[in-house]
Each structure stands twice: as structure tokens, then as C-alpha cells.
């Protein structure tokens, strides 16, 4: 017997399936729902009427617009999913990317009573005992959390980021549904299965769970604080750990001017060109020096403090580049800036991003055309964001897989470059990027790094030499004992098996119906047993059952659209 909480969760998940599928049908995606073979969650009448039809009031909207509207209606989890997908030009066409970038994460605020109760549950005391001041009206309200301003009893001005009550149950249920839909998509929708929806949902689960854990966000803020401890041009707000938990994050209140408020910045006497330079430098240091960068640096999250100090807020979304990914990125950027096509292809081959279906000849041709488009443009006139977007578009066209953090980085770079050009029309990201890339490339050949690499390679070979005799002996022993096995997996046959199973069921159903009709006809010729209206009762009953079963079979065939 399942535990009670699991039963409730299953019921909750089934209800959410019905809601999600109903909304998809409402916005004209019934054909997609039917492909998943999951439409049994919906009422029969609704299935027959709605499949494949777009409501008249939505006909003027494109498919991308209708999908965005559906995501907004489905709530916070799907809004967050759309925002994540808007950073993945390798997965979605450009019109969907543009639409998903419009997804708004602003919702009506939760009442102060609910927020106060949430804080008391998390911190153990009511707000009036913990804080000297706590603003009733939030300064920001999003789907996952909302932010209030206040003051600690020790006198510090702070902001409280509080998770919405009950949001974790909603997100958890939606993630279960999304994973189930991802499995169905991989089985029944080959065109979409190419983009590995299960891994996309896993990536999304990891992202949203990290974003909802405010303790983790607090640790991330402190890592930025350590990284920029010696940099006077970048400020990170302090975290108050005594008033922080998984659902409540208490940070220092940082008064400043949004980086997009150009008139206020000028009125305060700030140098807009210097602000653009400092913003770009701080972001490039995050990416290329530390491998940890703010993944959502839109103007609302970037403030300018006195003395033109840059301060970033909201560290719920960050990108991470391990040493290998960072080295690969530096090599690719260096090759792009040097316009070296063979080096680009070599890096893609070495990193394993090229798949078996990649066409090297056409890839080389498209990269040549791409480089030629930028050949006569001076480096000062190149827009890095546009360059990276076009480069990723080529890779996507050739179905070359790219790490998700690279996609997030590309979007963040586009945003930072756009903000920089607002501050300074002559701003050029290449001028800021080249010294970093060149420095990192040169550091690869420093005596210290070369010695470290040689030492690591020597250790790897020593480990291989130590384990190889044992592995060979084990392999031969398994062969001698006939215990050596090779597991083979058939891929792409699941849909065929399902279709064969469905077809055999229909044939069996038809045979049963035919047998009922033949048997009932024979009974009709015999005047025995109960008689109703001059006909044998058993014969009438057989005909009735055959008719009902035949109608059921006909509806199933018509609904599938395969006569």
C-alpha cells in the first residue's frame, strides 16, 4: 500500500495533468496532445470536439504567441521554464525565443499575514519580535518570491526575500508532470525528441530548485563577495545569516540608481562611459577569471552606487563554467576573434560537440561565410552579442550540441553589451574581451601551468599503468568463465511496439464483435429460451453488446485520425 502522502501526490499530479492538457487544447495544441497518447485524462466529448482546432479568438496569434499565453496561464513553473528556454537558441526557433523573452514574472503580491506566517515558520519568531521595521507593501513580487524592505533591531536597513507559501508543492507537482510529458515526447514525437526533452526537464529541475533555495543563493552571494573582495569597483550586498533560511533571505539594503536610469546617473555627476567599462570588466572577470557569473544581468538587477561602484542583485540564477568549459570557451573566443575557421572546427571536434550527423563539409562552408561577413568589419565595430548569436545559430542548424551554460552566457553577454551601448554609444565589448582572452591564452604556457599539466598527465598515466594489468586479467577471466556480456539496446522502436500493440488489440476486438454477431445470428434462428418481441432474448442481447463494442471501436479509430 502506498503511503498517504504519495497517494495525495498522485491525485494532485493527475489533476494537474488534466489542467495542463486542457490549457494546451484551449490554445490550439490538441494535435500535440493527441500525439502523446495521453488524452484519456480529458473528458471524451472535449477530446472529440477540440483536437486540431484553434479557437476563433486565437486565430490571429502565431503558434509561438499561443504557446507563450498558455505558459502564462499555467503559472510560475511554466513561466520559469519559458524563461529558461528563451536562453536556448539551440533548442527553439528564433520566433519562440523572442516570444518567451516576453514572459513576465510579475504576479499579485501575497498578503502580509501570509508572508509574516512564512517568516515565523522559518525563523521561529514573529516579525515584530525579529525586526524593528517590516514594510507591509513589497518592493517586488514575482512568482517564486517577493521582496520587502525593513530594518533589523541592530539598526541595519535590509531587504527580505520571502518564498511564496505553498509554491514548493506547486513546482514539485509541475516538475513531475513535465518529466512524464518529456518521456511521452521522446516515445511519440520524434521531431521534438531530437532535442532530448528529458535532459531539458532535468536541467530545468536543477535550475528552479537552486533558485528556490535561498540558503544556496546566500552562499553564492558570499562567493561573489570573496571573488571581488579586492575590487573597489564592484560591491556585493551582505547576507544576514541569523535571519536567513531556505525560504527567507535577508540581505543588506543597497541604495543606488538602476543602471538604465541614464538621466538620474548624469544628474548625479556620474561618468556613463566609465560605468559601462566597469560593468563590462566586472562581468568578464566573473566569466573568465572565476567561472561563476550572474546569469540575469538585466538593468533591474544592476545598480550604480556612489563613486560609480557596480552592484548586482538577485543571484538566484547564476552560470558556472568548470575549468574545462572555461578553457574551451577561451579557445573558441580566441579563434573567433582571430577569425580562424580551422581552429574553431578543431575545438568543436576536440570537445566532442560534433555529432555523427554533423556535416563537416557544409559546416566548414557556413563558418567560412560567417567569418567573411565579419572580415571587412573592424574589431571595434563588431557586436559580440550578435556575433555569438549568429555563431550559435550555425551550430544549431548543424545540430551541434552546446553546453547549457554557454547559452546562458550568450544571453547574458547580449544583455550586458546592450546596457553598455545605452550608456556609451561607442561601447565595444571586443575591446574589453580581447585583453582577458589574450591573457588567459598566454597563461596556458606559463611555466607553472605547463608543470601542473605535465604532473597531471604523469599521474593519469601512472594510474593507467597500475590498473591496466588487473583490468586485462579480469577481462580474460570473464571470457574464460563465459561471463562476458554485451548489452544491446534498441532505440526508436518503442513507438512501433506501441502501434503494433494497439493494432493487435483492435483486431482482437473486431474478432470478438464478429463472433458476437455470428453467434447472435445463429441464436435468432432457434426459437428457444426467453422470447422478447418475438425474438430470442439472448440473440438481442448479443446484438446489443456487439453494437456497443463496435461503436466504442469506431470512436477510438476516428479519434486517432487513422482510418
pLDDT at 375: 57
pLDDT at 194: 65
Assess if residue 317 is contained within a domain.
Answer: yes
The answer to whether 431 touches 417, Cβ cutoff 8 Å, is no
Same domain, 440 and 451: no
Same domain, 422 and 296: yes
The answer to whether 557 touches 506, Cβ cutoff 8 Å, is yes
Query: Torsions phi, psi of 553, nearest 5?
Result: -65, -40
Q: Which triple of cell numbers denotes residue 98?
A: 523572442
CA proximity to 336, closest of 388, 386, 385: 388
| Strand ranges in 218-327 using DSSP code E only, listed in sequence order | 234-235, 248-252, 257-258, 292-294, 302-305, 309-312, 318-320
Same domain, 240 and 126: yes
pLDDT at 42: 46
Same domain, 387 and 502: no
DSSP state of 39: G
11 has a pLDDT exceeding 70: no
Between 343 and 11, the more confident residue is 343
Measured between alpha carbons, how far is 204 from 347 in angstroms, rounded to an integer? Answer: 28
Give the tens place of pLDDT for each residue, 297-323. 888 889 999 999 999 998 988 888 887
Same domain, 542 and 480: no
pLDDT at 5: 40
pLDDT at 355: 54
DSSP state of 381: G
- Comparing 119-123, 214-218, 331-335, the range with the smallest average pLDDT is 331-335
| Strand ranges in 164-230 using DSSP code E only, listed in sequence order | none
Same domain, 313 and 386: yes
Assess if residue 270 is contained within a domain.
Answer: yes
Alpha-carbon distances of 16 from 74, 84, 136, rounded to whole Å: 10, 21, 33
Q: Which triple of cell numbers denotes residue 358?
A: 554533423
Number of folded domains that form the chain: 4
Assess if residue 405 is contained within a domain.
Answer: yes
Assess if residue 424 is contained within a domain.
Answer: yes
Sign of CA dihedral 347, 349, 355, 361: positive
Name the percent of the chain lying above pLDDT 90.
17
pLDDT at 492: 57
Give the tens place of pLDDT for each residue, 396-407. 777 776 677 777
Q: 378 falls in which pLDDT band (50, 70, 90)?
A: low
Same domain, 521 and 462: no
114 has a pLDDT exceeding 60: yes
Q: Which of 282-286, 426-430, 536-540 has the highest mean pLDDT?
A: 282-286
Same domain, 267 and 316: yes
What is the pLDDT averaged over residues 79-95? 79
CA proximity to 184, closest of 20, 64, 324: 20
Residues 6+ apart with CB under 8 A from 489: none
137 has a pLDDT exceeding 80: yes
360 has a pLDDT exceeding 90: no
Assess if residue 284 is contained within a domain.
Answer: yes
pLDDT at 274: 92
Measured between alpha carbons, how far is 14 from 59 in angstroms, rounded to an integer? Answer: 30
Measured between alpha carbons, how far is 201 from 399 in angstroms, rounded to an integer? Answer: 19
What is the pLDDT averaged over residues 436-444? 76
480 has a pLDDT exceeding 90: no
Q: Which of 213-222, 368-377, 446-455 has the highest mean pLDDT?
A: 213-222
Give the tens place of pLDDT for each residue, 348-359. 666 545 555 556
Assess if residue 476 is contained within a domain.
Answer: yes
Same domain, 269 and 362: yes
Measured between alpha carbons, how far is 366 from 397 in angstroms, rounded to an integer? Answer: 10
Give the tens place of pLDDT for each residue, 537-558. 777 787 788 888 888 777 777 6
Same domain, 279 and 392: yes
**Entry pTM:** 0.72
Alpha-carbon distances of 181 from 34, 38, 39, 92, 133, rounded to whole Å: 12, 9, 12, 18, 46
pLDDT at 491: 59
Measured between alpha carbons, how far is 295 from 469 in angstroms, rounded to an integer? Answer: 47
Same domain, 381 and 475: no
pLDDT at 9: 54
What is the pLDDT averaged over residues 252-263? 90
Assess if residue 127 is contained within a domain.
Answer: yes
| Cα angle 221, 223, 226; round to 5 | 115
Domain end position, chosen among 436, 457, 485: 485
Domain with 463 in it: 447-485
Same domain, 289 and 382: yes
Assess if residue 21 is contained within a domain.
Answer: no
Amino acid at each position: 500500500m502506498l503511503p498517504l502522502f504519495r497517494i495525495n501526490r498522485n491525485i494532485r499530479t493527475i489533476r494537474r495533468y488534466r489542467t495542463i492538457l486542457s490549457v494546451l487544447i484551449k490554445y490550439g495544441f490538441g494535435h500535440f496532445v493527441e500525439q502523446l497518447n495521453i488524452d484519456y485524462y480529458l473528458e471524451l466529448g472535449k477530446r472529440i470536439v477540440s483536437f486540431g482546432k484553434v479557437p476563433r479568438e486565437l486565430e490571429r496569434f502565431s503558434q509561438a504567441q499561443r504557446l507563450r499565453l498558455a505558459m502564462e496561464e499555467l503559472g510560475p513553473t511554466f513561466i520559469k521554464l519559458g524563461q529558461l528556454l528563451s536562453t536556448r537558441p539551440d533548442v527553439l526557433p528564433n520566433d519562440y525565443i523572442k516570444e518567451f523573452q516576453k514572459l513576465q514574472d510579475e504576479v499579485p503580491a501575497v498578503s502580509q499575514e501570509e508572508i509574516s506566517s512564512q517568516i515565523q515558520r522559518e525563523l521561529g519568531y514573529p516579525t515584530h519580535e525579529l525586526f524593528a521595521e517590516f514594510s507591509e507593501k513589497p518592493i517586488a513580487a514575482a512568482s517564486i518570491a517577493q521582496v520587502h524592505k525593513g530594518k533589523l533591531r541592530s539598526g541595519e536597513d535590509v531587504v527580505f526575500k520571502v518564498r511564496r507559501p505553498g509554491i514548493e508543492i506547486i513546482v514539485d507537482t509541475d516538475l513531475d508532470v513535465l518529466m512524464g510529458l518529456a518521456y511521452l515526447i521522446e516515445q511519440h514525437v520524434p521531431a521534438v525528441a531530437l532535442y532530448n526533452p528529458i535532459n531539458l526537464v532535468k536541467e530545468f529541475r536543477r535550475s528552479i530548485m537552486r533558485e528556490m533555495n535561498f540558503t544556496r543563493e546566500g552562499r553564492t552571494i558570499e562567493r561573489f563577495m570573496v571573488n571581488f573582495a579586492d575590487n573597489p569597483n564592484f560591491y556585493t550586498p551582505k547576507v544576514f545569516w541569523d535571519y536567513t533560511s531556505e525560504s527567507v533571505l535577508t540581505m543588506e539594503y543597497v541604495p543606488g540608481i538602476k543602471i538604465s536610469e541614464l538621466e538620474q546617473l548624469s544628474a548625479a555627476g556620474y561618468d556613463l562611459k566609465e560605468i559601462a567599462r566597469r560593468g563590462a570588466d566586472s562581468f568578464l572577470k566573473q566569466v573568465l577569471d572565476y567561472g561563476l557569473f550572474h546569469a540575469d544581468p538585466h538593468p533591474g538587477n544592476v545598480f550604480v552606487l556612489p563613486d560609480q561602484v557596480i552592484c548586482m542583485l538577485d543571484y538566484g540564477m547564476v552560470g558556472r563554467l568548470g575549468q574545462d568549459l572555461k578553457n574551451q570557451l577561451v579557445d573558441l573566443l580566441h579563434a573567433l576573434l582571430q577569425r580562424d575557421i580551422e581552429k574553431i572546427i578543431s575545438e568543436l571536434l576536440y570537445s566532442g560537440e560534433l555529432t555523427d550527423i554533423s556535416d563537416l563539409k557544409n559546416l566548414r562552408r557556413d563558418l567560412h561565410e560567417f567569418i567573411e561577413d565579419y572580415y571587412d568589419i573592424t574589431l571595434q565595430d563588431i557586436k559580440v552579442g550578435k556575433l555569438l548569436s549568429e555563431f550559435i545559430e550555425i551550430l544549431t542548424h548543424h545540430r551541434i550540441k552546446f553546453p547549457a551554460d554557454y547559452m546562458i552566457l550568450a544571453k547574458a553577454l547580449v544583455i550586458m553589451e546592450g546596457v553598455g551601448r545605452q550608456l556609451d554609444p561607442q561601447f565595444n565589448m571586443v575591446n574589453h574581451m580581447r585583453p582577458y582572452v589574450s591573457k588567459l591564452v598566454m597563461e596556458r604556457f606559463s611555466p607553472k601551468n605547463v608543470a601542473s599539466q605535465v604532473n597531471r598527465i604523469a599521474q593519469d598515466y601512472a594510474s593507467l599503468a597500475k590498473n591496466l594489468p588487473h583490468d586485462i586479467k579480469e577481462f580474460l577471466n570473464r571470457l574464460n568463465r563465459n561471463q562476458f556480456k554485451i548489452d544491446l539496446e534498441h532505440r526508436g522502436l518503442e513507438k512501433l511496439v506501441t502501434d503494433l500493440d494497439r493494432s493487435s488489440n483492435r483486431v482482437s476486438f473486431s474478432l470478438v464483435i464478429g463472433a458476437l454477431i455470428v453467434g447472435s445470428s445463429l441464436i435468432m434462428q432457434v426459437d428457444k429460451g426467453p422470447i422478447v418481441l418475438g425474438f430470442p432474448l439472448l440473440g438481442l442481447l448479443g446484438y446489443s453488446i456487439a453494437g456497443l463494442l463496435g461503436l466504442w471501436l469506431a470512436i477510438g479509430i476516428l479519434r486517432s485520425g487513422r482510418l
